[in-house]
Amino acid sequence: MKGVFTILKRFLPPYKKYGALIFIFNALTAIFSIFSFVTIIPILQILFRISSKSYYFIPWNSPDMSFTKIIQNNGYWYITHLVENYGASTTLLGLAIWLMIITIFKTGTAYFGSYFLVPIRTGIVRDIRNQINDKILALPIGFFSEERKGDILARMSGDVDEVERSVLSSLVLILKNPILIVTYLTTMLIISWELTLFVFILLPVTSYAMGTVGRKLKQKSLDAQNKWGELMSQVEETLSGLKIIKAFNAEGKISQRFRDGNKKLRKITARIIRRQELASPLGEFLGTLTIVIVLCFGGTLILQGRGVIDAPTFMFYITIFFNIISPAKEFSKSAYTIQRGLASMERIDEILTAENTIVEKENPEKLTFEKQIEYNNVWFKYNGDWVIKGINLRIQKGKTIALVGESGSGKSTLVDLLLRFYDVQKGEILIDGTNIKDVSLNDLRSLIGIVTQEAILFNDTFFNNIAFGVEHATREEVVKAAKIANAHNFIMATPNGYDTVVGERGEKLSGGQRQRVCIARAVLKNPQIFIFDEATSALDSVSEKLVQNALENIMKDRTTIMIAHRLSTIRNADEIYVIHQGTIVEKGNHDELYNRNGYYWKLCNMQINFQ
Ligand SMILES: Nc1ncnc2c1ncn2[C@@H]1O[C@H](COP(=O)(O)OP(=O)(O)O)[C@@H](O)[C@H]1O
Ligand SMILES: [Mg+2]
C-alpha cells in the first residue's frame, strides 16, 4: 500500500484540484447508489405482497423511535399509502421511473468522476516524459553508450505507460473505492450492526487470501521491462545498421538474436499475466463465498423468525454487500498494477536520478579569450586505461594547430575535453588562465564551433539546420554562411531551396553535401575557436576539395584545432602535434617534422592519404 503514495506524492500536487473534484463526484455516486438500491425494498414488498401490516405516519421528531426506524416506517407507510390510492401496478411504474432518474444521476456523477481523472493521468505522463527528455539533454555524453539508446526509448514509452496505469489505479484506489466502501458500510451498519459485525470478521480473512497470491510481481515486471529495453536497443541497432546487415547477409543472425530475446520476454510476460489473471477468478470465488455465508447466516435468522431485519431489507442489505465486494476486490487487483508501475518507475528513476558528472560552478567566472588555450598535464580515461597521458598544449589565439596520429591515439578525446563533454581527471585546461570548469558551460560552448567526421543533420529544413545554434538568424545570414561553406549552390538546386526538408539523418544528401551544411552551421555560429575533427576524412576527393576550400574560407584569422588524416589539410598549420597512445611524441611545423625523419615522417610515408 505504501507504493500507492510514493508516485502520487511526487507527481500529483499540480493536479490537486482535479483530485478534489473526483472525490466530490465519487461521493455523490456513492449516495445515489444507495438511493437506487433502496428501491428494491418497496418493489419486493409489492411483488410478493409481503407486508400485510398497516403503517401509520410517525412524526419525524418522535422521541419513541430511532431516526432510522422512523425513516423505515414512514417509507413503508408512504408506499402502502400509494398502493391503496393508485393501485400496485401504478406504484410499481412510479418506482421504476424513480429508479431510472436516480440511475441517470448515479452514472452521470460516475462519468464526471472518471472525466476528471483524465487530466491527471495524461498530465502526469506528460510531466514524466518531459522530465526524461530534459534529463537526456542535461546528462553528459558519457552516459549514453550505444546499447543504452534503445533502452532509454523503452523506458520513455513502455515504462511510462506502466506508470500511467499505476497512477490510474492508485487514484481509483484512493479517491473512489474508500468512499464507496465507507458509504456502503455505514448504510450496512445502520441497517443491522449485528450482521455487519459478522461480515467484518469475514472480510479480512478473504482479503488476506487474495493478497498472498502475488508478492513477487514487481521483480517479474522489472525483469520484463529490462528485457523489453534490451530488445528495443537491438531494434535501434538493426535500423541504423541495416545496410551492413544486408551486405553481410546477416539477416538470419540478427533475426535469431531478436527471436531469442523475444522468446524470453514472452515467457516472463506470460508468467506475469497468468498471475494477474488469477486475481479475478480468485476474487470472484472468494467474494461469492462471502456472500453465500452471509446469505445463509442472515437467511437462517430470518426464516427462524429471529431476524433483526425483515426480508426485503435483508435483500437491500445483500445488494449493498454485493456492491462492496467489487471495490474491495479492486484493492487486490490494483496492487498488481501498482507493483508493475513501481517497477517501471524504478527504471525511469535510473535516468531521472542519474548523477550529472559534468558539474557547473554556482558562480561561474567570466570567460574571455584573448590570449591562449592551455592543456596542463592533462590525464583522462573512460573506463579502463588512461587514454590521455599528461598532455601539455598551448594554442595561441588566431593560430591553427593540427593534431595527427593513428586512429585511437586520443585526438577526438582531446577536443571533447575542451568542450567539457568529459572532464579531465588530472591536470587542467585553461582559457586565458581560467579553468574551463570555472566558467559556465554555455559560455564555454558558445566560444567553440565544431565539425566532426559524422555530419549530423536533423530532420528539418536546410534553413533550420544551418540556423540551429543561433536564435533569430535572418535569411541573409544563413545564405551568407552557406555560401562561405560552399553549400549555397546545391541547396538552391533542391526543390524548395532553403525550405527543403533534409531527410532523417540527411540520408538524401551526399556525404560532402551534408558536411558542407554542417560547416555552414558552424560558420553561422561565428565562434572564436573552430574544431574540425576529421571533417573531410569520409569524403571523396572532389567533395574533399570543396569542403577543404570551405574550411580555408573560414579559418583565416581564427583559432583552429584541426584533426586530419590528410597532409594537404594540415600542411599549413602553424604547429602540428603528433599524438601517439595519448602522449605528444613530436611537435613542430610540417617541414621541421618531416625532416626529422621521426614518427611524423613515418606516418606520412605509411599512409597513402598522407602524400
Ligand atoms: N566513449 C568511449 N568509451 C570508452 N572508450 C572510448 C570512448 N571513446 C573513445 N574511447 C577509446 O579512447 C581511445 C581514444 O579514442 P579517440 O579519442 O576517439 O581516438 P582518435 O580520435 O585519435 O581516433 C581509443 O582507445 C578508444 O577506443
Ligand atoms: Mg577521432
Which atom of ligand 1 is the closest one to the Cα of 142? 1
pLDDT at 477 over 90: yes
Question: Each residue of 533-585: pLDDT tens digit?
Answer: 988 777 777 777 777 777 777 777 789 999 987 767 788 889 999 999 999 99
Residues in the chain: 611
Among 324, 352, 380, the domain boundary falls at 352
Task: Give the number of C-alpha atoms closer than 13 A to the C-alpha of residue 577, restricted to the C-beta side.
Answer: 23
> Is residue 266 in some structural domain?
no
Percentage of the residues of the chain whose pLDDT score is greater than 70 = 93
pLDDT at 505 over 60: no
Residue nearest to atom 3 of ligand 1 (CA): 382
Distance of alpha carbon 61 from its chain centroid, rounded? 60
**3-state DSSP helix/strand/coil % of the chain, to nearest 5:** 65, 10, 25
Helix and strand totals (H; E) in the chain: 24, 10
Beta bridge partners of 560: 400, 530
Which atom of ligand 1 is the closest one to the Cα of 416? 17
Q: Which of 41-45, 376-380, 392-396, 447-451 has the lowest mean pLDDT?
A: 41-45
CA of 149 relative to ligand 2 center, distance in Å:
21
Mean pLDDT of 205-221: 65
Within this chain, do residues 316 and 438 fall inside the same structural domain, yes or no?
no
> What is the predicted pLDDT for the residue at 307?
66
> What is the predicted pLDDT for the residue at 147?
64
> What is the predicted pLDDT for the residue at 340?
82
Within this chain, do residues 39 and 126 fall inside the same structural domain, yes or no?
yes
For residues 515 and 535, the answer to whether their CB atoms sit within 8 Å is yes
Which atom of ligand 1 is the closest one to the Cα of 579? 22
Within this chain, do residues 495 and 529 fall inside the same structural domain, yes or no?
yes
> Is residue 230 in some structural domain?
no
CA of 466 relative to ligand 2 center, distance in Å:
24
Between 460 and 214, the more confident residue is: 460
pLDDT at 214 over 60: no
Mean pLDDT of 192-218: 71
> Is residue 367 in some structural domain?
no
Within this chain, do residues 476 and 346 fall inside the same structural domain, yes or no?
no
Ligand approaching nearest to the C-alpha of 414: 1
Question: Each residue of 19-34: pLDDT tens digit?
Answer: 999 999 999 999 999 9
Q: Which of 7-16, 294-303, 583-592 has the lowest mean pLDDT?
A: 294-303
Within this chain, do residues 280 and 410 fall inside the same structural domain, yes or no?
no
Instruction: Kindly list the strands in the beta sheet with 372-381, ordered across the sheet, starting from the edge strand earlier in the chain.
Output: 386-396, 372-381, 426-431, 434-435
CA of 584 relative to ligand 2 center, distance in Å:
16
CA of 534 relative to ligand 2 center, distance in Å:
7
Ligand approaching nearest to the C-alpha of 405: 1
pLDDT at 413 over 90: yes
Residue nearest to atom 7 of ligand 1 (CA): 382
Backbone angles phi, psi at 560, to 5 degrees: -135, 135
For residues 412 and 585, the answer to whether their CB atoms sit within 8 Å is no
Among 301, 322, 352, the domain boundary falls at 352
Q: Which residues line ligand 1 (CB under 6 A)?
A: 382-383, 387, 405, 407-413
**Residues near 162 by Cβ (< 8 Å), separated by ≥ 6?**
221, 225, 340, 341, 343, 344
Among 291, 319, 352, the domain boundary falls at 352
Which atom of ligand 1 is the closest one to the Cα of 410? 17
Which atom of ligand 1 is the closest one to the Cα of 145? 1
> What is the predicted pLDDT for the residue at 377?
95
pLDDT at 329 over 60: yes
pLDDT at 404 over 80: yes
> What is the predicted pLDDT for the residue at 445?
92
pLDDT at 609 over 60: no
> Is residue 357 in some structural domain?
no
Ligand approaching nearest to the C-alpha of 403: 1
CA of 453 relative to ligand 2 center, distance in Å:
8
Of 177, 187, 34, whose CA–CA distance to 113 is shortest?
A: 177
Within this chain, do residues 317 and 283 fall inside the same structural domain, yes or no?
yes
> Is residue 239 in some structural domain?
no
Within this chain, do residues 48 and 146 fall inside the same structural domain, yes or no?
yes
Q: Which of 129-133, 179-183, 199-203, 294-298 has the lowest mean pLDDT?
A: 199-203
Residue nearest to atom 16 of ligand 1 (CA): 410
> What is the predicted pLDDT for the residue at 112?
94
Between 338 and 145, the more confident residue is: 338
Three-state SS annotation for 197-254: HHHHHHHHHHHHHHHCCCCCHHHHHHHHHHHHHHHHHHHHHHHHCHHHHHHCCCHHHH
Beta bridge partners of 379: 389, 426
Within this chain, do residues 189 and 289 fall inside the same structural domain, yes or no?
yes
pTM above 0.85, yes or no: no
Within this chain, do residues 166 and 206 fall inside the same structural domain, yes or no?
yes
Q: What is the CATH number of the domain that holds 556?
A: 3.40.50.300
Which atom of ligand 1 is the closest one to the Cα of 533? 21
> Is residue 346 in some structural domain?
yes
Q: Name the residue of 382, 419, 534, 607 to mutate for ligand 1: max ligand atoms within 8 A of Cβ.
A: 382
> Is residue 250 in some structural domain?
no
For residues 159 and 348, the answer to whether their CB atoms sit within 8 Å is yes
User: Packing angle between helix 311-352 and helix 217-240, nearest 10 degrees?
Assistant: 50
Q: Which residues of 105-125 are buried (b: 16+ CB within 10 A; e: fewer)?
A: bbeebbebbeebbeebbebbb
Q: What is the CATH number of the domain that holds 64?
A: 1.20.1560.10
Residue nearest to atom 1 of ligand 1 (CA): 142
Within this chain, do residues 313 and 397 fall inside the same structural domain, yes or no?
no
Within this chain, do residues 307 and 425 fall inside the same structural domain, yes or no?
no
CA of 412 relative to ligand 1 center, distance in Å:
7
**Residues near 442 by Cβ (< 8 Å), separated by ≥ 6?**
none
> What is the predicted pLDDT for the residue at 610?
43
Q: Name the residue of 145, 149, 379, 412 to mutate for ligand 1: max ligand atoms within 8 A of Cβ.
A: 412
> Is residue 263 in some structural domain?
no
> What is the predicted pLDDT for the residue at 133?
93
Which atom of ligand 1 is the closest one to the Cα of 407? 23
Within this chain, do residues 285 and 394 fall inside the same structural domain, yes or no?
no
Residue nearest to atom 6 of ligand 1 (CA): 382
Which atom of ligand 1 is the closest one to the Cα of 405? 22
> What is the predicted pLDDT for the residue at 44?
81
Domain total of the chain? 2
CA of 425 relative to ligand 1 center, distance in Å:
15
Measure the CA angle with vertex 435, ends 369 and 407; round to 5°: 85
Give the mean pLDDT of the chain: 85
Strand 448-452 versus strand 529-533 pairing type: parallel
Ligand approaching nearest to the C-alpha of 387: 1
Q: What domain range includes position 129?
A: 2-218+272-352
* Rounded Cα distance, 77 and 85, in Å: 12
> What is the predicted pLDDT for the residue at 315?
86
Residue nearest to atom 25 of ligand 1 (CA): 408
> What is the predicted pLDDT for the residue at 207?
66
**In the structure, what pLDDT confidence band is assigned to residue 429 with cuts at 50, 70 and 90?**
very high
Q: Name the residue of 147, 409, 533, 607 to mutate for ligand 1: max ligand atoms within 8 A of Cβ.
A: 409
**In the structure, what pLDDT confidence band is assigned to residue 611 with cuts at 50, 70 and 90?**
very low
Question: Each residue of 71-127: pLDDT tens digit?
Answer: 878 888 888 888 888 888 888 898 899 999 999 999 999 999 999 999 998 999 999
Ligand approaching nearest to the C-alpha of 413: 1
> By three-state DSSP, how is residue 559 classified?
strand
